[in-house]
Amino acid sequence: MSAPDPDSTAPQSAPKFRRRAEARPDEVLDAALALFVAQGYGHTTVDQIARRAGLSKGAVYLYFPSKKALLEGLVRRAIGPVAGFAQGMPEHVPGDPRPLIARFLRLAAGHLADPHTLSVPKLVIREAMAAPEIAQIYRDEVLARALPALQALIGQGVAGGFIRRVDPEMAARCVIGPLVAHLLLSEVFGITPEGGLALDRLIDTHLAILDAGLEPVEGGRK
């Protein structure tokens, strides 16, 4: 029997290696998040993260050049898709923007229903005062993208007569404010609704109030 062709066996092992290499950034982020939550951002070192991820410190730096970059990666992975969706909203609304605002809020709630995703804004709330760079990263990656997009979307709705004449800047804050306040009440003050965080209940209630508040006055639509 002839020896197996080396070329015929190589592709079988290559995918496993590629999958492992592609998974490493997420493994590093998972390790970083677990340590940030357990002992705080300021008390966690890259050495500790590397050990938890089962990698050398140098290998971690191949993916993330600093601890700050790790935090940026966590924010982008957790909330980046929601902020990206919000950023594109003003380009895709031919009429009433309220259904798209509802979709944005439900998307945000859906992401936050994942405990790993929820751990990131909780970390920001808990440590922003002691480590201002955490608040700045969250502002740059999430708020600075979502708020202007919501403001533009609401402004379009006002201009088209689909929602009442409100201040778009303040209205954008009102859209995301209850979600932020909900997390603050739970994380900082320990006031949690019966049955847990209940994000679906919050969004349903918020949208009922928001939709009524944005309804155009009679004769207001162009």
- Ordered by where they begin, the domains of the chain are 1-65 (1.10.10.60), 67-222 (1.10.357.10)
Section 21-31 average pLDDT: 84
DSSP string for 148-164: HHHHHHHHHHHHTTSS-
Question: What is the tens place of the pLDDT at every residue in 40-95?
Answer: 999 999 999 999 999 999 999 999 999 999 999 999 999 888 999 998 888 767 78
Question: What is the tens place of the pLDDT at every residue in 119-164?
Answer: 999 999 888 888 888 899 999 999 999 999 999 999 999 999 999 9
Rounded Cα distance, 170 and 8, in Å: 63
CA distance to 22, 196, 204, per residue, from 110 (Å): 25, 15, 13
Query: Helix, strand or coil for residue 219?
Result: coil
Which stretches within 4-97 are classed as H helix?
Answer: 6-39, 46-53, 57-63, 67-88
